């Protein structure tokens, strides 16, 4: 069965500090991994998708199949990065992308 | 970008009544819509996958007679919580996509409180 683990419920850093939000997964096949973000009073939106390998708002995430991890990183956090971040997994090729399995989320707070 | 509208944003009902939640794709045709529920401080849990014109596919443990899903058009899916009980109180979120490998767009969610 698929499982997504985000070990930190809360994470606080100061502005300009590096930030890493951890995500580990378990899945028997080749999953697709995503990071979704939810800013205060806004709806959930896609931040990153591992296959696109792009950097959004300075965030990057590398899929490490050996460690089954997909940690989200940003070298210099900004106050506007404060939000709830969800790591999510989809069954990969041939599987509907919207069948997502989410981690419990990490609330990131960036202090000025 | 594409917009998914979810209505109502919150609803309070008496135990035993049914509640309908609508999810609309406003500017695109959504071949597939998804329904999630989220308990306080917990993750989103996928409930079902809804394809236009066909029966919804429910995740394991989700009662299909309890949570009726209808996807009658390419822009509208509805979730009806039948004979609601306090344990059904939760935050329900829908999402929609144009196609199998397309980006997912989320509604703003519906907070259901059953008294």
**Could you write out the DSSP letters of every residue in B34-102?**
EEEEE-TTS-EEEEEEEETTSPPEEPTT--TTTEEEEEEETTEEEEEE-S--GGG-EEEEEEEESSTTS
Write out chain A residues lying below 8 Å of B9, CB-based.
none
Q: State the best of B5, B44, B50, B97 to mutate against chain A, taking most chain A CBs within 10 Å.
A: B44
- At residue B60, does pLDDT exceed 60? yes
Q: How many residues does chain B have?
A: 115
Band (B115; pLDDT cuts 50, 70, 90): very high
The answer to whether A3 contacts chain B (CB < 8 Å) is no
- Better-scored residue on pLDDT, B111 or B43: B111
Burial class (CB in 10 A: 0-12, 13-18, 19+), A111: exposed
* Integer Cα distance of A108 and A111 in angstroms: 10
Q: What's residue B1's pLDDT?
A: 66
User: Region A32-50: what's the mean pLDDT?
Assistant: 89
Band (B23; pLDDT cuts 50, 70, 90): very high
Min distance A94 CA to chain B CA atoms (Å)? 8
Q: How far is CA A44 from CA A35, A70, A86, B23, B102, in A?
A: 10, 19, 9, 15, 16
CB contact under 8 A, A104 and B43: yes
Worst-scoring range by mean pLDDT, A55-59, B25-29, B56-60, B97-101? B97-101
- At residue A16, does pLDDT exceed 70? yes
Q: What's residue B99's pLDDT?
A: 75
Instruction: For residue A59, count other CB atoms closer than 10 A to its CB.
Output: 20
The answer to whether B52 contacts chain A (CB < 8 Å) is no
Band (A29; pLDDT cuts 50, 70, 90): confident
Q: What's residue B55's pLDDT?
A: 86
In the three-class reduction of DSSP (H, G, I as helix; E, B as strand; rest coil), residue B111 is classed as strand
Task: Provide the β-strand partners of residue A46.
Answer: A36
Q: What's residue A54's pLDDT?
A: 74
* Integer Cα distance of A2 and B33 in angstroms: 21
* Integer Cα distance of A9 and B73 in angstroms: 38
User: Region A51-78: what's the mean pLDDT?
Assistant: 90
The answer to whether A45 contacts chain B (CB < 8 Å) is yes
Q: From the list B46, B103, B106, which residue is nearest A43 (CB)? A: B106
Q: What's residue B31's pLDDT?
A: 85
CB contact under 8 A, B106 and A9: no
Q: Are strands A101-102 and B4-7 parallel, antiparallel or unpaired?
A: unpaired
Band (A51; pLDDT cuts 50, 70, 90): confident
Write out chain A residues lying below 8 Å of B95, CB-based.
44, 98
How many A/B residue pairs have CB atoms within 8 Å? 52
CB contact under 8 A, A98 and B104: yes
Instruction: For residue A18, count other CB atoms closer than 10 A to its CB.
Output: 10
Write out pLDDT tens, residues A66-107. 999 999 999 999 999 999 999 999 875 555 567 889 999 999
């Amino acid at each position: 069965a698929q499982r997504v683990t985000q070990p930190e419920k809360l994470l606080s850093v100061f502005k300009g500090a590096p930030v890493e939000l951890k995500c580990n997964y378990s899945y028997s096949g080749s999953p697709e991994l995503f990071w979704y973000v939810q800013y205060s009073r806004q709806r959930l939106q896609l931040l990153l998708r591992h296959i696109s390998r792009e950097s959004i708002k300075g965030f990057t995430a590398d899929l490490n199949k050996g460690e089954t991890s997909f940690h989200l990183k940003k070298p210099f956090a900004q106050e506007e990065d404060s939000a709830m971040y969800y790591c999510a997994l989809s069954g990969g090729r041939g599987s509907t992308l919207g069948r997502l399995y989410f981690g419990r989320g990490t609330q990131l707070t960036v202090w000025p | 970008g594409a917009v998914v509208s979810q209505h109502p944003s919150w609803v309070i009902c008496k135990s035993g009544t049914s509640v309908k939640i609508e999810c609309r794709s406003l500017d695109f045709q959504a071949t597939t819509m998804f329904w999630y529920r989220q308990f306080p401080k917990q993750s989103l849990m996928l409930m079902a996958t809804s394809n236009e014109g066909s029966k919804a596919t429910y995740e394991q443990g989700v009662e299909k007679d309890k949570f009726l899903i209808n996807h009658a058009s390419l822009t509208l899916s509805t979730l009806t919580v039948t004979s609601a009980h306090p344990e059904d109180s939760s935050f329900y979120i829908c999402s929609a996509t144009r196609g199998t490998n397309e980006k997912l767009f989320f509604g703003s969610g519906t907070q259901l409180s059953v008294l």
